[in-house]
Structure 1
Amino acid sequence: MPDRNLEFGKYGAQGIKGHEAVARQLDRLAGFIATPVTARRGLMARLHYLTRTPHARAAARDAGLTVTDRTLKAWLDGKRQPTRQNLERIDAAYLTVRRANVSRHLLARLNRQGRGTRVEFHPLNQSQVPRPRQRVIDYRTLNVRRWDRIVEAWAAGDEGALDEAWVNDVVVDLGSQWGEYEYVTAIGFAA
Structure 2
Amino acid sequence: MPERNHEFGKFGARGTRGSDLVATRLDTLVDFITTPVTTPRGLLARLRYLTTSPRTRKAAHAAGLTVTDRTLKAWLAGTRSPSKANLERIEQAYRTVRRHNVARHLLKRLNSSGGTRVEIHPLNQSQVPQPHQRALEYRRINVRRWDPIVTAWATGDSHALDTAWTTGILPDLGSQWGQYEYVTNIGFAA
TM-score (norm 1): 0.97
Which amino acid in structure 2 is aligned with residue 52 of structure 1?
A: T
The correspondence of residues 149-188 of structure 1 with structure 2, limited to 5 A, is 149-188=148-187
In structure 1, the residue matched to 2:144 is 145
Counterpart amino acid of 2:153? W
CA shift, 1:55, in A, is 1.4
**Aligned partners of 1:40, 1:5: CA distance in 2, in Å?**
45
Cα distance in 2, alignment partners of residues 36 and 84 from structure 1? 13
Q: Which residue of 1 aligns with 2:101?
A: 101
> 1:156-186 deviations in whole A, cap 9, x for unaligned?
1001100111112210110000001000101
Distance in 1, matches of 2:35 and 2:121, equals 29
Answering whether residue 135 of structure 2 is matched by residue 136 of structure 1, we say yes
Measure how far apart 1:131 and its partner are: 2.3
Q: Once the two structures are superposed, what CA deviation does each residue of 1:74-97 show, in whole Å capped at 9, x if it has no partner?
A: 111111110111111101101110
The one-letter code sitting in structure 2 at the alignment partner of 1:79 is T
Q: CA deviation at 1:134?
A: 1.5
Alpha-carbon distance in 2 for matches of 1:39, 1:141? 41
TM-score w.r.t. the length of structure 2 is 0.97
Inter-partner Cα distance in structure 1 for 2:11 and 2:44? 46
* Residue 65 (structure 1) aligned with residue 54 (structure 2): no
Show the counterpart of 1:87: 87
* Count of residues paired in the alignment: 190
Q: Which amino acid aligns with 1:34?
A: T
Residue 119 of structure 1 aligns to a residue whose secondary structure is: strand
Give the deviation of 1:132 after TM superposition: 2.4
Percent sequence identity over aligned pairs: 67
Query: Match of 1:41, SS?
Result: helix
- Residue 34 of structure 2 corresponds to 34
Alignment correspondent of 1:126: 125
* Distance in 2 between residues matched to 1:131 and 1:111, nearest whole Å: 41
- Counterpart of 2:46 in structure 1: which amino acid? R
Q: Determine the C-alpha separation between the residues in 1 that align with 2:119 and 2:136.
A: 13
What is the rounded CA distance, in whole Å, between the counterparts of 1:57 and 1:26 in structure 2? 24
Aligned-residue RMSD, C-alpha? 1.0
2: CA distance, partners of 1:184 / 1:174: 14
Residue type of the partner of 1:65?
A: L
Please give the alpha-carbon distance, in whole angstroms, between the structure 2 residues aligned to 1:129 and 1:80.
54
Report SS of the residue matched to 1:141: strand
Secondary structure of the corresponding residue to residue 178 of structure 2: helix
Amino acid at match of 1:78: G
Q: Which amino acid in the other structure matches residue 60 of structure 1? A: A
1:160 aligned counterpart, secondary structure: helix
SS at match of 2:184: strand
Deviations along 1:76-121, one digit per CA (max 9) or x if unpaired, are 11111101111111011011100100000000000005x1000000
